[in-house]
Every structure is written in structure tokens, then in C-alpha cells.
Amino acid sequence: MKLRMWFLTLCLTASMAAAAQDMPLFRWENFTTEDGLPDNHVFCVLVDGNRVWAGTENGLGLYENGAWKIFRPKDGLVHQAVLSLAVDERTGDLWVGTMGGLSRISAGRIDNFTQLNSGLSNDIVYGVGVLGDFVWTATAAGASRLNTRTGQWALFNERNTPMYEIWTYAVSPAEDKVYYAVWGGGVLEYDTRTERWKDYNDPDGETEMVLMKDQGLIHEITTSVSYVDKILWVATYFGASRYDGRYWHNFLQKDSGLPSNFLNQIKAVDANRAWFSTDKGLAYYDGTNWAVYRPALDTHKPEMLVRDAEGRVTSVPVKTAPAHNYILGVSFQGDDIWVATAKGLSHGVRTQSAAVTAKAGDAMQKK
């Protein structure tokens, strides 16, 4: 009997250690205004090869060759508060959504599009994405699409889509679909082949209760969408959702490794893996296990927690953490990750050998 117990304990410990070892481990380097960042309130981050763009409350920062360059209105940017970023992989042009319009940065030239000088629906551009020749924007007054070849704008709102709430908050165009997170209005899907719109809503309605889990979108207040490998991931202020075209799966703090139900961004790696930007840390889900990276909520010391499939949580000793718990977005640079936080930009440098020693004593069953 003792032998069996010992064996079970060994297996348990081994599986928890394995889960911890499988999760990415980072050495975090944090940037603030002292390092040249335009502002510590970082709304978004985008990696473009060796260049890292950080959209902040007071300017757009470009980190290249170890130095920061700042773009503000005096440099030609349409507005200083940068909310969203997207790069056209084919041309290298950067599209910048701001609180005062949309800018295109092309090899140093900045062209600005506003609701006054162009067909852009609204100057508050929460989200921007590029698909082929089209630039899609999520604005405070619906969606706009610019055809970069013809210069023609198309607007999508309550008049021509199922968008009953026009506060579009994020956009994710990929392959043949364009998904919109509509703040208070669920998710909208645009099929580029049929040119038809379809909406996805919370079957519970607008309540904050989850009456029908895994039967639809977790909540109407959506903040981010990510469409990768034909899988739709959705972030809301009340949890996250994954949709494979037939089945929904919802993630809540109470039954997943999410550190909070309040999500600012979701960024999928592939069909099974995704990163979650929450108000209580950065979370990663590999399809089975979860990891959370943050300064500890109480001590503010660097913390990494790993939760395995059985719900057991392991604390992994780490010496560094992202700049702040309040995470607004991420972008990948090979195995590295860049993280926008409320108090600086963080660079997670992936450590190659994850010689993680999970202490069995640290393991605890999450209640």
C-alpha cells in the first residue's frame, strides 16, 4: 500500500513537473520611458522582423538596433495615442490605428486617413488588420475597409450588417474570413468569398451569468479576436472562447488556467495554443496546460504559475516577470514574445533549456 502511494505520488509529481517543463520559460527585459519608450502606457505591440513597434498613449515607438525612435504628430503621425498596429507583410507598410485616425508608415513616409479627409468611418481606430489589398479597421463607429489599389472605402455598420452595436474593438483578417470583436455586440464574421456577414452572440444574452457554457460565445462584450488555422479565438471581459466552426469551448477563471476573466487581447499561435492578455497577468494555453507570467499580485515578485490538465498548479521559480500585471497585447518574435503592459513594454526572451525544477511542495490543487 505504501509502495502504491509512493508510486502515485511520484507519478503525480512527475506529471506536474513535465507540465511545467513543457511551458515556455522566459527571461523578461522591461522597457520604460527611461529606456526611450515614448510612454509607459503601452496599448499594443507589433514585431516586424528585427523591428518592434510599440503603440503607447503618447506616441509610437520603434525599437531597432537597440535604440528607440519615436513618432508623434509633429513627426507626421495622425495622433499620439496609438491603439492598434498591423503590418502588410507583402509591402512592409505599417498601419497605425490611433485615437485620431489611421496612419500608414511606408519606408519613412507617413500618410494619414481621418474621418474628415477620407472615407474612414471614425477617427478612433481600435483595431486594424491587413488582408491582401484591403485594410480593415475597427472603429468607434463601425468597420471600415480601404481598398489600397483603388482608394475606395467601404463602411460596415448597423445599416448593412448584423452589427447592432457599432463599437467595433478589434479585427482579425486571415485566409477567407475577417472577424470583428464588437464591444457589446459579440463577434461578426465576414466571408470574403461570399461577401456576407454573420454574427455570433452569447446565447445567455447580455447577462453576466454563464447559463449555457460551451454553447456559444461566452459574452457579448468582446475585446479581441484571433483567427488562426480556421479556429476563432475570442477574448471578452467575462472569459474567453474558442470556436472551430462547429463547437464552442469557453474558458473561465474558475475552470481554466486563466488568471482573470477580464481579457484585453487574445492571440492564437495555432489551432490549439493561444496567449491571453488579462488584467491579472499574461496567460498561455498549450491545449492542455496553462502558464501565467506576472509580478505576483501580493508581493509583486516575479511569478510563473503552471496549471496542468488536472487543475494542479505549480509555481515555477523565476527571477523576472513582465513589467506589470495589466497586459494589453502581445506579439511574437520567433520563440520570444513582446508584451504591452500598463507600465512598460516587456520582452520575453525564451530560455532554450527549460531546466525547471518544480518543487513538489509548491504544487497545490487549485480549488
Partner 1 sequence: MRRLKLAVQVVPIVAMILAAVMVKPPSSRAEMQRERYLSPLEMTLSLDGSRLYVVCEGTDELRVVDTKSATVVAHVPVGHQPRGIVISPDGHELFVTNSWDDTVSVIETVSLKVVQALPTGSEPTGVVTDRNGHTLYVANRLDGDISVIDLATGHETKRLLAGPGASYLALSPDGKWIYCTHIYPNAGAVRTQPNSEITVIDTSRQVVVERKQLHNVAGVFHVALSADGKLGVAAQLRPKNLIPLAHVEHGWVFGDSLTLFGQDVSGTIQIPLDELDRYYALPWGVVISPDKSKIFVTTAGSQSVSVVDVAKLMKSVRSHPQSFANDLSASADYVLARIPVGHNPRGVLVSQDGKRLYVANRLDDDITVIDTTRNEVISKIDLGGPKTVNALRRGEQIFYTADYAFQGQFGCSNCHLDATIDGLEWDLEPDGFGKDIVDNRLLEDLAGTEPFKWNGGNPDMPTECGPRVEKYFFRSQSFNPGQLTDVVSFIFSLPYRPNRHRLPNDELSAAQERGKAIFERTKFKNGKTIPEGNRCSTCHSGPKYTNRQQMDVGTGKATDRSPLIDVPQLPNVAYSAPYLHDGSARSLEEIWTVFNPKDTHGISNDLTKDELNDLIEYLKTL
- 90 touches partner 1 (CB under 8 A): yes
Using a 10 angstrom Cβ sphere, with 0-12 exposed, 13-18 middle and 19 or more buried, the burial of residue 287 is: exposed
95/200 with CB nearer partner 1: 95
Residue pair 346/28 in contact by the 8 Å Cβ criterion: yes
- 315 touches partner 1 (CB under 8 A): no
Write down the H helix ranges in the chain.
2-22
* Smallest separation, CB 135 to partner 1 (Å): 12
42/105 with CB nearer partner 1: 105
- 189 touches partner 1 (CB under 8 A): no
Residue pair 258/276 in contact by the 8 Å Cβ criterion: yes
- 109 touches partner 1 (CB under 8 A): yes
C-alpha–C-alpha distance, residues 284 and 274, integer Å: 6
141/296 with CB nearer partner 1: 141
For 361, phi then psi, to 5°, come to -70, -20
Nearest to 248 by CA among 231, 226, 260: 231
* Smallest separation, CB 84 to partner 1 (Å): 20
Binding segment for partner 1 (CB under 8 A), chosen from 108-116, 191-199, 216-224, 302-310, is: 108-116
Pairing of strands 327-333, 125-131: unpaired
Nearest to 304 by CA among 28, 1, 49, 13: 28
- 103 touches partner 1 (CB under 8 A): no
C-alpha–C-alpha distance, residues 76 and 105, integer Å: 9
Per CB under 8 A, the list member of 74, 149, 193, 367 interacting with partner 1 is 149
Residue 184, sorted as left (phi over 0), alpha (psi -120 to 50) or beta, turns out to be left
- 197 touches partner 1 (CB under 8 A): no
Residues 153-182 that bind partner 1 (CB under 8 A): 153-155, 157, 159
Per CB under 8 A, the list member of 13, 58, 148, 272 interacting with partner 1 is 148
Per CB under 8 A, the list member of 73, 119, 184, 216 interacting with partner 1 is 119
C-alpha–C-alpha distance, residues 249 and 15, integer Å: 25
Coil, strand or helix at 285: strand
Binding segment for partner 1 (CB under 8 A), chosen from 109-117, 223-231, 304-312, 326-334, is: 109-117
* Smallest separation, CB 79 to partner 1 (Å): 17
- 32 touches partner 1 (CB under 8 A): no
Residues engaged in binding partner 1 (CB under 8 A): 90-93, 104, 106-109, 111, 115-119, 121-122, 133, 141, 148-150, 152-155, 157, 159
